[in-house]
Amino acid sequence: MPTAQSSAPVLPPAGSRAPDMTFKLAAFSAALVILGLIVLVGYELYHGAGVAIAKFGPRFLVSSDWDPVSDQYGALPFIFGTLVSSLLALLIAVPLGVATALFLTELAPFRIRQPIMVVVEMLAAVPSVIFGLWGIFVLIPWLRDHLFVWLKHTLGFLPLFQGPIYGVSMLAGGIIVAIMILPIVTSISREILRSVPGLQREAAYALGATRWEVIRIAVLSYARRGLFGAAVLGLGRALGETMAVTMVIGNRPEISASLFAPGYTLASVIANEFTEATSDLYLNALFELGLVLFAVTILINVLAQVMLRSMGSGGVTKVN
């Protein structure tokens, strides 16, 4: 690199601000396009849902009735299913992803760091429908015959693990989504952990900390805001995940305390029913589900921002 420095850089005449302005304008309009897209999507969804919004009003959000035959629509079981399956996915994927990232940045021998990361990132390249098929034919039978039976046996006193076991279930949906968001959570966490300055660690070691203490005090606490951000990005992916979830969640619009019971998500019902919907109200109701999903996603992101801000802002937290 430094050898290229010998030729004098070509600078615009002093005082010309034209390139600066052009660049600023270009970047600004790019940002504006994204903002415009979001507004447009929101408007189109609202517009497409007009008839349903007028007919059902706020009742749409709290009703559990979804009956295309008698044209009665309510979104509650789908909202519930989306939130629960996404939260389950986060509960599984974040500890796993952060632990993997910690191993890769702090503990693993240098030779195997890159290969492991490549394998993790390969998960992201597997199409959703493949995860779904694998879910139906491999994961579900194993869950039904082993993990779920064991959970019911050992933790069956909790309402979460009661009721009949079908295999397809909210929990299966959560597990599939967890696998799918694992790559993004892991790779972002790894970048965050890598950006923790070496001085932090050295200082902790100098104080006589053990390796675990170094990770806990110097690394994790320094990176916690960034790691939270990684979890939020994973959650964003989880909320919208459609195909694989549809194939393993059971598609029953029902609210049940048991994680063994089938559920249904907003994205799944739209994907399932949109192509064959013919009545106006039906289509409008599906659009309104899209609008609800859109609103839930925005709401969660805003909430995450608020939480980030309240997570203490010392000098050590300017990670990203």
Partner 1 sequence: MNRVTLLLLLAVGAVAPASAQLLINGAGATFPAPIYTKWFDEYTKIDPSVRFNYQAIGSGGGQKQILAETVDFGASDGPMSDANLAKAPRPLWHIPTVAGAVVVSYNLAGDPTLRLDGTTLAAIYLGKITKWDDPAIEGQNPGVSLPDQDILVVHRSDGSGTTFIFTDYLAKVSPEWKEAVGKGVSVSWPTGLGGKGNAGVAGQIKQSPGAIGYVELAYAHQNKLPFADLRNAAGKYVTATIASVTAALATATIPDDFRFSMVNAPGDDSYPISGVTWILVYGEQKDPAKGQKLVQFLTWAYTDGERMAASLDYAPLPPAVQQRVLDRVNSIKY
Q: Residue by residue, what is the 3-state secondary structure of 254-272?
A: CCCCCCCCCECCHHHHHHH
Q: 146 Cβ partners below 8 Å, 6+ apart?
A: none
Residue 189 vs 268, nearer CB to partner 1: 268
- The two beta strands, 66-67 and 72-73, are antiparallel
Q: Which of 246, 258, 265, 284 binds partner 1 (CB under 8 A)?
A: 246
Interacting residue with partner 1 among 5, 6, 7, 70 (CB under 8 A): 70
Q: Which of residues 268-297 bind partner 1 (CB under 8 A)?
A: 268, 271-280, 283
In the window 156-215, what residues touch partner 1 (CB under 8 A)? Answer: 164, 166-168
Stretch near partner 1 under the rule CB under 8 A, chosen from 54-62, 151-159, 195-203, 264-272: 264-272
> Judged by CB under 8 A, which of 136, 217, 296, 308 binds partner 1?
136
How many residues at the interface with partner 1, by CB under 8 A? Answer: 35
Token pair, residue 16, equals 């010309």
Of 184, 247, 267, 292, the residue at the interface with partner 1 (CB under 8 A) is 247
Helix axes 76-102, 221-240, angle to 10 degrees: 140
Dihedral (CA of 67, 72, 73, 77) sign: negative
Q: What's the chain's length in residues?
A: 320
According to CB under 8 A, which residues from 38 to 67 bind partner 1?
65-67
Q: Which range of residues in 35-43, 185-193, 220-228, 260-268 is near partner 1 by CB under 8 A?
A: 260-268
Cα four-point dihedral sign 306, 311, 314, 320:
negative
Of 82 and 251, nearer to partner 1 (C-beta) is 251
Cβ at position 273, least distance to partner 1 in Å: 4
Q: Output the smallest distance, CB 18 to partner 1, in A.
A: 41
Residue 177, judged by CB atoms within 10 A of its CB (0-12, 13-18, 19+), counts as buried
* 128 interacts with partner 1 by CB under 8 A: no
